[in-house]
Each structure stands twice: as structure tokens, then as C-alpha cells.
Structure 1
Amino acid sequence: MKSLAEQMSFYQRYHRSPKNRLTHFIGVPAIMLAILLLLSWVPLGPSGLNAAHVFVLVLLMYYFVLDVPLALAMTAFSALMLAAARHLSRLPWTWGLGAFFVLFVGGWIFQLVGHHFEGRKPALLDNFFQVFIAPIFLMAELFFFFGYKPGLRRRVEQLAARSA
């Protein structure tokens, strides 16, 4: 399994433009919320659990393997996203479906506009697994912005420069 730095260096090579990164801070959460909304409509018995819970649990387990502090932050963020998805899933069907389409299509529009600024195709076209790296990459970007995890930042930049 590739390390977080290796995963992020691949992702970073497709996301160097500040404008592209900014659009991803809007697009990735929008798409994530849309997917969680869709999955929240799939119940898993009378307990109140649904497919969104399982999806987030599996994703967080992978994130914890990669990096515990970032995974803890992603746990908090995911809890907020699950709460929002739960709220949206309780709307009347047509409103919920409308919310799904606005979030999903709007999120992808933001992503594609960002890649227009970048002048490069999305990373997921070369490696679909990057869809799952995007959220933790953005969380790491927030950590880096506030001065946390400088060693990881240096390693990601070194690997990205070596592969460029």
C-alpha cells in the first residue's frame, strides 16, 4: 500500500494552481455530501444505520492507516457531513433528489472549472482511487496552511517534484 505522502504527491501534481485548489475546497465536499445523501437512502435494518455510515466507516479506517491526526480531523468532518446528509435525506423526495443533483453536478462543475485553471485533466482520470484521496488531501492542505505536519508537507513536495 502506498504511503499518504505517495498518494498525496500523485494528487498534488494535478492540483498546483491555487485557483484549482480553491475550487476543490468547494467541489469535493459538495460531491461528498451528494454521495452520502444518496447512500443515506439505503437503510441497513431498523437500527437507523444506512449505507452512508458504512461507506464513511470504511473510508475512515483507510485514513487511520494512512495518518491518525488527519483521520481524526476527517472523522469530525465526516460526522458533520453525515448529519447534513441525514437532514437532507429527510426532505420530501423531490427536494432531496434536487439537492443531490445540485450538489453532485455543481461539485463536478467546480472541479472541472478548477482543472481548466490548472490546464490539466483531473487526477481520477489516471487513477480513479484519487477520488478517495481528495478529501484527506484537502484536510492535509488545511493542516499545512496552519503550520501542522511540516514533515509530511516536505515529503509530499519532494515526491511530487521528483515525479514531475
Structure 2
Amino acid sequence: MEPHSRTIDILLAQYSESHRNPTNELIHFICVPVIVLSLLGMLWWVHPLLAVAVVVASLAYYWKLSRPFAAGMLVMALVMLGIIAALPPIAVLPLCIVIFVLAWAGQFIGHMIEGKKPSFLDDLRFLLIGPLFVLSFLYRRFHLAY
């Protein structure tokens, strides 16, 4: 890393160290957003304002790391909250629990394929970096700076 690297670049580089296998990356591209959706759904089930509060707190952290990423995460969060709000209330919790468990199983299968443990076992911040790792591929694909 360069001596004056931004925190976001350092965190993404560290996160990517255990996400180099193409199969593991593909699993993450699917499972990470689904985990975020299911987690927001479970929080929504407790109370919609709890889900919104977690989104706001996460966006504040993302804003400090990268404003373009914060904007992307805002769009993603709004879409996800819209999906959750459209679900029948009785279906939110059971559906989100099933999705959460299956997506985490997928994540651990990906890491077994990779042969490396999940990044968050070393630093819990990586639970918040995972969505940015996925978003970074989209930004690079469309030549968007972050």
C-alpha cells in the first residue's frame, strides 16, 4: 500500500486478501447483498425505525470512508427497505431468517473454497466492508470513482 493510501483503499485491499477465488467472489456478490437485505428485514420486523436507524448509522460510517460509496449504499438501502416494506408483514421475519441462514452458509462455503477464514473474524469492521467490496466491482465496471 502507498504511504498515503485512503482508509477505504486499505480496508478493501485487506478484505480482498481472503476473496481472490472467482467462485468465492461470485458467492459473495450474491450472498453479501442478500445478507444485508435479510438483516434489514429482521430489524424492520422489530420496528421499521430500527432498520432505518441502522441504515443511517451505516451511511455515516460509509460517508467517512467514501462519499461515492455512501451514495451507492444509500441507493441500495432504499431499494432494500422498499422491498421489505412491500412484503406482507407476517412473512418478513420467517423469510429473512431463512435467507440469512442460507446466505451465511453460502459465505462459509465460499471461504472453504477459498481456503481462508472470513475477514470479519479478525476485524468486525469487515462486516461493513463486505457490501463495499461488492459495490467496488460495480463502480469499477462503470468507471466510477470511489
**TM-score with structure 2 setting the length:** 0.88
1:1-164 mapped onto 2 (5 Å cutoff): 3-43=7-47, 50-88=49-87, 90-92=88-90, 95-149=91-145
Q: Distance in 2 between matches of 1:87 and 1:25?
A: 24
Equivalenced residues, count: 141
How far did residue 19 of structure 1 move? 1.0
Q: Distance in 2 between matches of 1:17 and 1:145?
A: 18
Unaligned runs of 5+ in 2: 1-5
Secondary structure of 1:58's match?
helix
How far did residue 87 of structure 1 move? 2.5
Match of 1:158 in 2: none
Q: Distance in 1 between matches of 2:125 and 2:85?
A: 26
Q: What is the CA RMSD across the aligned residues, in angstroms? A: 1.6
Secondary structure of 1:74's match?
helix
Q: Which runs of structure 1 show a deviation greater than 4 angstroms over 4 or more consecutive aligned residues?
A: none
Identity of aligned residues (%): 34
Unaligned runs of 5+ in 1: 44-48, 153-164
